Structure 1
């Protein structure tokens, strides 16, 4: 007889859960027996996703850039099922292109969602977890937390910031029973990455990231790269002299300026980055 997953019965809150990686994380966790709350800025989509996914899934409106919205999301989940055992910070956006062509509105949105949204979630969820002596915060960062592809400079800055922030928070929470994990995937086949290149690594599916999240919950680790070999490879390359390091990373890391030049695949998505109400 197989043992139930350690995820079974846990109360999990997933931000940005209406589509893409967040939706897949919710689906896999619910299939493993977790009670999953998905929050998203797109109310119709989060309601539809919650209805479509099997298992115990409930959808809530959530704006990770608004403290009261985030606080209300966590409170609503607690009112429904009880305190959140696992918070998955998944919400994120990405504008791609030359650094000097990036609209200020895109810069602001990436900083506010990708970085401050994570800080906000940790600040709201971790103190209660510490009081209870247990809890887990899993954040979907990116391989860009260790690398900086051309064309993704601000996006990479937000992911570097997430890793730096959580490194410090993890030390503050040492011995408290609260676990911190950072998932760092390569390029994933989602709307966020449409039209970009994956470099030397294979293009990932959202399910690859979702499985990494489940593994991190079952057997907590701080840094998780997807694929796994990326972490050791980057650390090894960082030991090289600068000239060799540069040439190595140029072979491995995609040039997203070149990959997206002249393309139109990202136009609709990036209008939505700048103006969340514009998904045309």
Structure 2
């Protein structure tokens, strides 16, 4: 018989938690007994999600690109429930298409949310965790952190940056019991992936990522890829000669330059990656 996960007493913050992957993470962790704070730029949607999901939750406004907003979010949780055990950096945005047609505003937005937002969260949450001798920061990145992804140049750069940043911070904290994890899924069926291709991998669901977050809280690992074979496959391919590595990558990794549906992505881009 499979034991039901028990996170009773755990206080967990999820960024970008009002919809998609973040909402599913919040739902699953709350169902396991955790007290979950949902932060989102759309604060009303965050509060609505907190009201709709069963369990102990709160929703709050959070702009991960703004230090005052992020600090206020963490302070609200501290005042309401106490010390945060786990921070899940989930907020992210993506523009897809040829690198030379990407609007500057979309480039800047991806860097601000995907990379600087994660850095800000770590800088705000980790010191307190180190001081008390416990805590876990989980960042939902992307398989684009370790793969070559045509049509996602800036997005890929931010995810490579997140992976590199977390590796460096982990090295700094090697004497500390604070745990760091990076979860790197392939394409997940959310608003972010509308109009894009999946490549050779099966399209994942938000529940797949949420389950990985739960497993990682229970049994911490630094590097988690979804599906699990992606990490070992990428490592194996990287030792091959360049011409062969490129050939395999073109067969396995989605090419959003060729396959992106710009019309289908109009609504998402207008909301999350505006032109100005």
Q: Same fold (TM over 0.5)?
A: yes
1:270 maps to 2:265: no
**Contact 2:148–2:249 (Cα < 8 Å) also in 1:** no
> Aligned in 2, Cα 1:176/1:120: closer, same or farther, shift over 3 Å?
same
TM-score by length of 1: 0.96
Aligned pairs for 1:20-35 within 5 A: 20-35=20-35
In structure 1, the partner of 2:146 is 146
1:31-63 deviation digits (Å, cap 9, x = unpaired): 000000000001221111111101111101000
Instruction: List alignment gaps of at least 5 residues for structure 1.
Output: none
Q: CA deviation at 1:251?
A: 0.4
Q: CA deviation at 1:109?
A: 0.4
How many residue pairs get aligned? The number is 276
Aligned pairs for 1:1-280 within 5 A: 5-261=5-261, 263-275=262-274
- What CA distance in whole angstroms lies between the structure 2 residues aligned with 1:108 and 1:54? 36
> Aligned in 2, Cα 1:146/1:2: closer, same or farther, shift over 3 Å?
closer
**Contact 1:93–1:114 (Cα < 8 Å) also in 2:** yes
- What CA distance in whole angstroms lies between the structure 2 residues aligned with 1:51 and 1:255? 39
TM-score by length of 2: 0.97
Q: Describe the SS at the equivalent of 1:187.
A: coil
> Aligned in 2, Cα 1:245/1:59: closer, same or farther, shift over 3 Å?
same
Instruction: List alignment gaps of at least 5 residues for structure 2.
Output: none
- What CA distance in whole angstroms lies between the structure 2 residues aligned with 1:274 and 1:4? 39
Q: CA deviation at 1:173?
A: 1.0
Q: CA deviation at 1:177?
A: 1.1
Q: CA deviation at 1:274?
A: 3.2
- What CA distance in whole angstroms lies between the structure 2 residues aligned with 1:32 and 1:245? 42
Q: CA deviation at 1:83?
A: 1.0
Q: CA deviation at 1:206?
A: 0.2
- What CA distance in whole angstroms lies between the structure 1 residues aligned with 2:178 and 2:143? 24
- What CA distance in whole angstroms lies between the structure 2 residues aligned with 1:36 and 1:116? 23
- What CA distance in whole angstroms lies between the structure 2 residues aligned with 1:237 and 1:3? 37
Q: Describe the SS at the equivalent of 2:12.
A: strand
- What CA distance in whole angstroms lies between the structure 2 residues aligned with 1:78 and 1:275? 34
Cα RMSD over matched residues? 1.5
- What CA distance in whole angstroms lies between the structure 1 residues aligned with 2:127 and 2:114? 21
**Contact 1:7–1:214 (Cα < 8 Å) also in 2:** no
Q: CA deviation at 1:205?
A: 0.2
